[in-house]
Amino acid sequence: MRKAFSESLVQIAATNPRLILLTGDLGFQVFDDFQERYGPRYVNVGVAESQLICASAGLALEGWSPVAYSIASFATGRAFEQVRISVAYPGLPVVIVGAGGGYTYSDSGPTHHAPDDLTLMMSLPGMTVVAPGDPEEVNQLFPQLMMGTGPCYFRIGRYGEPTYLAEESPVLGKARLLRDGEQIAILTTGDMAAVALEAVDLIRPDGIRPIVYQMHTVKPLDTSTLNQLAEKVGTFIVAEEQTPMGGLSAAVNAWRSSWESPIRVVRIGPPDAFALGSLKREDLRKRDNYDAVSIARACVSNWKTSQSR
Protein backbone atom coordinates (compact mmCIF):
# COMPACT_ATOMS: atom_id res chain seq x y z
CA MET A 1 0.00 0.00 0.00
CA ARG A 2 2.88 2.41 0.67
CA LYS A 3 4.04 2.12 -2.95
CA ALA A 4 0.51 2.83 -4.20
CA PHE A 5 0.31 5.84 -1.88
CA SER A 6 3.64 7.18 -3.13
CA GLU A 7 2.57 6.79 -6.75
CA SER A 8 -0.72 8.58 -6.06
CA LEU A 9 1.18 11.44 -4.43
CA VAL A 10 3.35 11.92 -7.52
CA GLN A 11 0.33 11.90 -9.83
CA ILE A 12 -1.67 14.38 -7.77
CA ALA A 13 1.32 16.69 -7.28
CA ALA A 14 1.61 17.01 -11.06
CA THR A 15 -1.77 18.76 -11.24
CA ASN A 16 -1.87 20.33 -7.77
CA PRO A 17 1.11 22.66 -7.28
CA ARG A 18 0.00 23.33 -3.68
CA LEU A 19 0.41 19.72 -2.54
CA ILE A 20 3.27 19.43 -0.08
CA LEU A 21 4.51 16.28 1.69
CA LEU A 22 5.86 16.39 5.24
CA THR A 23 7.43 13.38 6.91
CA GLY A 24 8.78 12.64 10.36
CA ASP A 25 12.13 11.22 9.20
CA LEU A 26 10.43 8.24 7.55
CA GLY A 27 9.72 6.95 4.06
CA PHE A 28 13.27 6.63 2.76
CA GLN A 29 13.23 5.24 -0.82
CA VAL A 30 9.41 5.26 -0.71
CA PHE A 31 9.31 8.95 -1.67
CA ASP A 32 12.46 9.15 -3.80
CA ASP A 33 10.46 9.81 -6.97
CA PHE A 34 8.41 12.53 -5.30
CA GLN A 35 11.52 14.19 -3.86
CA GLU A 36 13.32 14.07 -7.20
CA ARG A 37 10.41 15.69 -9.06
CA TYR A 38 9.11 18.10 -6.43
CA GLY A 39 12.08 18.61 -4.09
CA PRO A 40 10.96 21.90 -2.45
CA ARG A 41 7.60 20.30 -1.73
CA TYR A 42 9.21 17.48 0.30
CA VAL A 43 9.86 18.47 3.92
CA ASN A 44 11.49 16.19 6.49
CA VAL A 45 10.86 17.71 9.92
CA GLY A 46 12.91 15.03 11.67
CA VAL A 47 11.80 12.82 14.56
CA ALA A 48 9.35 15.45 15.78
CA GLU A 49 5.75 14.39 15.24
CA SER A 50 4.26 17.37 17.10
CA GLN A 51 6.15 19.72 14.80
CA LEU A 52 5.07 17.61 11.83
CA ILE A 53 1.42 18.33 12.62
CA CYS A 54 1.90 21.98 13.62
CA ALA A 55 3.90 22.72 10.46
CA SER A 56 1.19 21.04 8.37
CA ALA A 57 -1.46 23.18 10.05
CA GLY A 58 0.53 26.35 9.35
CA LEU A 59 0.97 25.43 5.70
CA ALA A 60 -2.76 24.74 5.38
CA LEU A 61 -3.48 28.22 6.74
CA GLU A 62 -1.25 29.61 3.98
CA GLY A 63 -3.21 27.83 1.25
CA TRP A 64 -1.13 24.68 0.85
CA SER A 65 -2.51 21.12 0.67
CA PRO A 66 -0.30 19.38 3.26
CA VAL A 67 0.05 15.62 3.61
CA ALA A 68 1.66 14.60 6.92
CA TYR A 69 3.18 11.10 6.85
CA SER A 70 4.44 8.98 9.73
CA ILE A 71 4.04 5.55 11.33
CA ALA A 72 0.44 5.29 12.53
CA SER A 73 1.25 5.04 16.24
CA PHE A 74 3.40 8.19 16.03
CA ALA A 75 1.10 10.23 13.79
CA THR A 76 -1.95 9.67 16.00
CA GLY A 77 -0.83 8.84 19.55
CA ARG A 78 2.35 10.86 19.92
CA ALA A 79 0.92 13.97 18.23
CA PHE A 80 -2.71 13.67 19.31
CA GLU A 81 -2.92 17.02 21.10
CA GLN A 82 -1.54 18.85 18.08
CA VAL A 83 -3.93 17.02 15.76
CA ARG A 84 -6.84 17.93 18.04
CA ILE A 85 -6.01 21.60 18.60
CA SER A 86 -4.05 22.66 15.51
CA VAL A 87 -5.84 20.64 12.81
CA ALA A 88 -9.26 19.37 13.93
CA TYR A 89 -10.39 22.39 15.99
CA PRO A 90 -9.96 24.88 13.12
CA GLY A 91 -11.07 22.24 10.57
CA LEU A 92 -7.97 22.58 8.40
CA PRO A 93 -7.54 20.51 5.21
CA VAL A 94 -4.58 18.45 6.44
CA VAL A 95 -4.37 14.81 5.38
CA ILE A 96 -2.62 12.75 8.06
CA VAL A 97 -1.33 9.44 6.72
CA GLY A 98 -0.60 6.70 9.25
CA ALA A 99 1.51 3.88 7.82
CA GLY A 100 1.29 0.48 9.47
CA GLY A 101 -2.02 0.88 11.28
CA GLY A 102 -3.31 -1.77 13.66
CA TYR A 103 -0.67 -4.42 14.30
CA THR A 104 1.21 -4.10 11.02
CA TYR A 105 4.38 -3.62 13.10
CA SER A 106 3.37 -6.32 15.57
CA ASP A 107 6.89 -7.71 16.00
CA SER A 108 8.29 -4.24 16.81
CA GLY A 109 6.57 -4.04 20.18
CA PRO A 110 3.89 -1.78 21.72
CA THR A 111 5.66 1.47 20.77
CA HIS A 112 4.87 0.71 17.13
CA HIS A 113 1.44 -0.85 17.64
CA ALA A 114 -1.52 1.27 16.54
CA PRO A 115 -4.71 -0.61 17.48
CA ASP A 116 -6.16 2.71 18.65
CA ASP A 117 -5.35 4.97 15.69
CA LEU A 118 -8.89 4.83 14.29
CA THR A 119 -10.34 5.33 17.76
CA LEU A 120 -8.28 8.46 18.37
CA MET A 121 -9.00 10.02 14.99
CA MET A 122 -12.71 9.11 15.04
CA SER A 123 -13.07 10.90 18.37
CA LEU A 124 -12.28 14.25 16.72
CA PRO A 125 -15.24 16.25 15.37
CA GLY A 126 -15.13 16.80 11.63
CA MET A 127 -12.33 14.28 11.02
CA THR A 128 -12.82 11.96 8.03
CA VAL A 129 -11.26 8.56 8.73
CA VAL A 130 -10.40 6.14 5.93
CA ALA A 131 -8.70 2.72 6.04
CA PRO A 132 -8.22 1.19 2.58
CA GLY A 133 -7.67 -2.54 2.30
CA ASP A 134 -5.44 -2.96 -0.74
CA PRO A 135 -3.30 -0.92 -3.17
CA GLU A 136 -6.21 -0.37 -5.55
CA GLU A 137 -8.29 1.24 -2.81
CA VAL A 138 -5.33 3.47 -1.96
CA ASN A 139 -5.05 4.55 -5.60
CA GLN A 140 -8.76 5.27 -5.87
CA LEU A 141 -9.52 6.77 -2.47
CA PHE A 142 -6.52 9.00 -1.81
CA PRO A 143 -7.22 11.35 -4.75
CA GLN A 144 -10.85 11.61 -3.59
CA LEU A 145 -9.65 12.42 -0.10
CA MET A 146 -7.37 15.18 -1.38
CA MET A 147 -10.39 16.94 -2.88
CA GLY A 148 -11.90 17.49 0.58
CA THR A 149 -11.91 20.71 2.55
CA GLY A 150 -11.46 19.37 6.09
CA PRO A 151 -9.08 17.23 8.17
CA CYS A 152 -8.60 13.59 7.23
CA TYR A 153 -6.84 10.50 8.54
CA PHE A 154 -5.73 7.87 6.03
CA ARG A 155 -4.55 4.54 7.48
CA ILE A 156 -2.41 2.50 5.09
CA GLY A 157 -0.53 -0.76 5.43
CA ARG A 158 3.11 -1.47 4.83
CA TYR A 159 3.81 -3.57 1.74
CA GLY A 160 2.80 -6.87 0.17
CA GLU A 161 -0.94 -6.56 0.77
CA PRO A 162 -2.88 -8.60 -1.82
CA THR A 163 -5.19 -6.89 -4.28
CA TYR A 164 -8.70 -8.33 -4.35
CA LEU A 165 -11.53 -8.29 -6.86
CA ALA A 166 -14.77 -6.58 -5.89
CA GLU A 167 -18.32 -6.09 -7.09
CA GLU A 168 -17.94 -2.29 -6.91
CA SER A 169 -15.26 0.39 -7.29
CA PRO A 170 -14.18 2.23 -4.12
CA VAL A 171 -16.01 5.50 -3.50
CA LEU A 172 -15.17 7.72 -0.53
CA GLY A 173 -17.93 7.61 2.08
CA LYS A 174 -19.66 4.57 0.58
CA ALA A 175 -19.34 0.96 1.70
CA ARG A 176 -17.85 -1.22 -1.03
CA LEU A 177 -19.52 -4.50 -1.92
CA LEU A 178 -16.85 -7.18 -2.26
CA ARG A 179 -19.03 -10.30 -2.43
CA ASP A 180 -22.78 -10.73 -2.70
CA GLY A 181 -24.53 -13.41 -0.66
CA GLU A 182 -27.32 -13.97 1.84
CA GLN A 183 -28.37 -14.41 5.51
CA ILE A 184 -25.26 -12.90 7.15
CA ALA A 185 -22.91 -10.03 6.30
CA ILE A 186 -19.22 -9.54 7.03
CA LEU A 187 -18.19 -5.91 7.51
CA THR A 188 -14.47 -5.15 7.28
CA THR A 189 -12.15 -2.18 7.29
CA GLY A 190 -8.49 -1.80 6.40
CA ASP A 191 -6.62 -4.88 5.25
CA MET A 192 -8.93 -7.19 7.19
CA ALA A 193 -10.91 -7.26 3.93
CA ALA A 194 -8.44 -9.70 2.40
CA VAL A 195 -8.60 -11.88 5.53
CA ALA A 196 -12.40 -11.95 5.33
CA LEU A 197 -12.31 -12.95 1.66
CA GLU A 198 -9.95 -15.78 2.56
CA ALA A 199 -12.49 -16.90 5.15
CA VAL A 200 -15.27 -16.83 2.54
CA ASP A 201 -13.21 -19.12 0.32
CA LEU A 202 -12.80 -21.55 3.23
CA ILE A 203 -16.56 -21.94 3.75
CA ARG A 204 -17.68 -21.86 0.13
CA PRO A 205 -17.63 -25.71 -0.15
CA ASP A 206 -20.17 -25.80 2.71
CA GLY A 207 -22.62 -23.68 0.72
CA ILE A 208 -22.25 -20.68 3.05
CA ARG A 209 -22.34 -17.41 1.13
CA PRO A 210 -22.10 -14.32 3.35
CA ILE A 211 -22.31 -10.82 1.94
CA VAL A 212 -18.99 -8.99 2.33
CA TYR A 213 -18.73 -5.20 2.56
CA GLN A 214 -15.51 -3.23 2.92
CA MET A 215 -16.21 -0.17 5.11
CA HIS A 216 -13.05 1.68 4.07
CA THR A 217 -14.59 4.98 5.18
CA VAL A 218 -15.09 4.46 8.90
CA LYS A 219 -16.12 8.06 9.53
CA PRO A 220 -18.55 9.20 8.28
CA LEU A 221 -20.02 5.71 8.32
CA ASP A 222 -22.22 4.66 5.41
CA THR A 223 -25.35 4.14 7.49
CA SER A 224 -27.55 4.11 4.39
CA THR A 225 -25.97 0.84 3.28
CA LEU A 226 -26.28 -0.56 6.81
CA ASN A 227 -29.98 0.31 6.84
CA GLN A 228 -30.53 -1.53 3.57
CA LEU A 229 -28.37 -4.46 4.61
CA ALA A 230 -30.25 -4.87 7.89
CA GLU A 231 -33.38 -5.62 5.85
CA LYS A 232 -31.64 -8.59 4.20
CA VAL A 233 -29.63 -10.32 6.94
CA GLY A 234 -29.92 -11.10 10.63
CA THR A 235 -26.25 -10.84 11.66
CA PHE A 236 -23.34 -8.52 11.01
CA ILE A 237 -19.89 -10.02 11.61
CA VAL A 238 -17.49 -7.10 12.04
CA ALA A 239 -13.85 -8.03 11.34
CA GLU A 240 -11.31 -5.40 12.38
CA GLU A 241 -7.74 -5.01 13.61
CA GLN A 242 -8.56 -2.36 16.16
CA THR A 243 -9.25 -2.01 19.85
CA PRO A 244 -12.89 -2.76 20.71
CA MET A 245 -13.09 0.70 22.32
CA GLY A 246 -13.69 2.47 19.02
CA GLY A 247 -13.25 1.64 15.38
CA LEU A 248 -15.71 -0.02 13.04
CA SER A 249 -17.51 -2.28 15.53
CA ALA A 250 -18.14 0.61 17.90
CA ALA A 251 -19.47 2.72 15.02
CA VAL A 252 -21.76 -0.10 13.86
CA ASN A 253 -23.09 -0.60 17.39
CA ALA A 254 -23.71 3.15 17.71
CA TRP A 255 -25.71 2.99 14.46
CA ARG A 256 -27.65 -0.01 15.74
CA SER A 257 -28.55 1.79 18.98
CA SER A 258 -29.73 4.98 17.26
CA TRP A 259 -31.66 3.08 14.61
CA GLU A 260 -32.99 0.54 17.12
CA SER A 261 -32.17 -2.28 14.74
CA PRO A 262 -32.67 -5.88 15.89
CA ILE A 263 -29.59 -6.89 13.92
CA ARG A 264 -27.05 -9.02 15.80
CA VAL A 265 -23.49 -7.67 15.76
CA VAL A 266 -20.60 -10.11 16.30
CA ARG A 267 -17.14 -8.59 16.59
CA ILE A 268 -14.02 -10.43 15.41
CA GLY A 269 -10.88 -8.56 16.43
CA PRO A 270 -8.11 -8.16 18.99
CA PRO A 271 -8.98 -7.82 22.69
CA ASP A 272 -8.73 -4.76 24.91
CA ALA A 273 -5.17 -5.59 25.94
CA PHE A 274 -1.58 -4.78 25.05
CA ALA A 275 -0.12 -7.21 22.52
CA LEU A 276 3.00 -8.41 24.27
CA GLY A 277 5.58 -10.87 23.00
CA SER A 278 6.55 -9.27 19.65
CA LEU A 279 4.69 -11.93 17.68
CA LYS A 280 4.47 -11.94 13.92
CA ARG A 281 1.23 -10.46 12.73
CA GLU A 282 -0.14 -13.77 11.43
CA ASP A 283 0.61 -15.45 14.77
CA LEU A 284 -1.01 -12.59 16.68
CA ARG A 285 -4.19 -12.84 14.62
CA LYS A 286 -4.31 -16.59 15.18
CA ARG A 287 -3.69 -16.27 18.93
CA ASP A 288 -6.37 -13.62 19.38
CA ASN A 289 -8.88 -15.34 17.08
CA TYR A 290 -9.31 -12.85 14.28
CA ASP A 291 -7.62 -14.68 11.43
CA ALA A 292 -9.40 -16.21 8.42
CA VAL A 293 -10.20 -19.44 10.29
CA SER A 294 -11.80 -17.49 13.14
CA ILE A 295 -13.94 -15.44 10.75
CA ALA A 296 -14.96 -18.61 8.92
CA ARG A 297 -15.91 -20.23 12.22
CA ALA A 298 -18.09 -17.24 13.14
CA CYS A 299 -19.78 -17.40 9.75
CA VAL A 300 -20.61 -21.09 10.14
CA SER A 301 -22.02 -20.56 13.65
CA ASN A 302 -24.15 -17.58 12.69
CA TRP A 303 -25.27 -19.11 9.42
CA LYS A 304 -26.82 -21.97 11.40
CA THR A 305 -28.49 -19.49 13.73
CA SER A 306 -29.92 -17.52 10.79
CA GLN A 307 -31.29 -20.69 9.20
CA SER A 308 -33.02 -21.73 12.42
CA ARG A 309 -35.04 -18.49 12.65
pLDDT tens series, the chain, 309 aa: 889 999 999 999 999 999 999 999 887 788 999 999 999 999 999 999 999 999 999 999 999 999 999 999 999 999 999 999 999 999 999 999 999 999 999 999 999 999 999 999 999 999 999 999 999 999 999 999 999 999 999 999 887 888 998 989 999 999 999 999 999 999 999 999 999 999 999 999 999 999 999 999 999 999 999 999 999 999 999 999 999 999 999 999 999 988 777 899 999 999 999 999 889 999 999 999 999 999 999 999 998 766 544
44: left (phi over 0), alpha (psi -120 to 50) or beta: beta
pTM of the entire predicted model? 0.95
Asked if 136 and 182 sit in the same domain, the reply is no
Q: Does residue 297 fall inside a structural domain?
A: yes
How far is Cα 6 from Cα 83, in angstroms, rounded to an integer? 23
How far is Cα 97 from Cα 5, in angstroms, rounded to an integer? 9
Torsion over CA: 291, 293, 296, 301 (sign): negative
Q: Does residue 248 fall inside a structural domain?
A: yes
Terminal-to-terminal C-alpha distance of the chain? 42
Asked if 133 and 231 sit in the same domain, the reply is no
Asked if 136 and 243 sit in the same domain, the reply is no
Predicted pLDDT at 161: 85
Question: Using an 8 Å Cβ cutoff, are 170 and 141 in contact?
Answer: yes
CATH of the domain at 131: 3.40.50.970
Which residue in 218, 30, 209, 75 sits closest to 133, CA to CA?
218
Asked if 137 and 181 sit in the same domain, the reply is no
Q: Does residue 168 fall inside a structural domain?
A: no
Long-range contacts formed by 5-10: CB under 8 A, 24+ apart: 5/97, 5/138, 5/142, 5/156, 6/30, 6/31, 6/33, 6/34, 7/33, 7/139, 8/138, 8/139, 8/142, 8/143, 9/34, 9/67, 9/142, 10/34, 10/37, 10/38
Asked if 113 and 191 sit in the same domain, the reply is no
Predicted pLDDT at 307: 53
Q: How many CA atoms lie within 13 A of 69 on its CB side?
A: 22
Q: Does residue 125 fall inside a structural domain?
A: yes
Asked if 77 and 186 sit in the same domain, the reply is no
Q: Which domain holds residue 114?
A: 2-156
Asked if 144 and 226 sit in the same domain, the reply is no
How many other CB atoms are there within 10 angstroms of residue 76's CB atom? 24
Q: Does residue 167 fall inside a structural domain?
A: no
Question: Using an 8 Å Cβ cutoff, are 195 and 292 in contact?
Answer: yes
Asked if 21 and 146 sit in the same domain, the reply is yes
Long-range contacts formed by 15-18: CB under 8 A, 24+ apart: 16/65, 16/146, 18/63, 18/64, 18/65
Coil, strand or helix at 246: coil
Coil, strand or helix at 177: strand
Per the document, the length of the chain is 309
Q: How many domains does the chain have?
A: 2
Asked if 99 and 196 sit in the same domain, the reply is no
How far is Cα 6 from Cα 139, in angstroms, rounded to an integer? 9
Q: Does residue 277 fall inside a structural domain?
A: yes
CATH of the domain at 264: 3.40.50.920
Asked if 146 and 196 sit in the same domain, the reply is no
Predicted pLDDT at 19: 98
Asked if 183 and 304 sit in the same domain, the reply is yes
Asked if 145 and 188 sit in the same domain, the reply is no
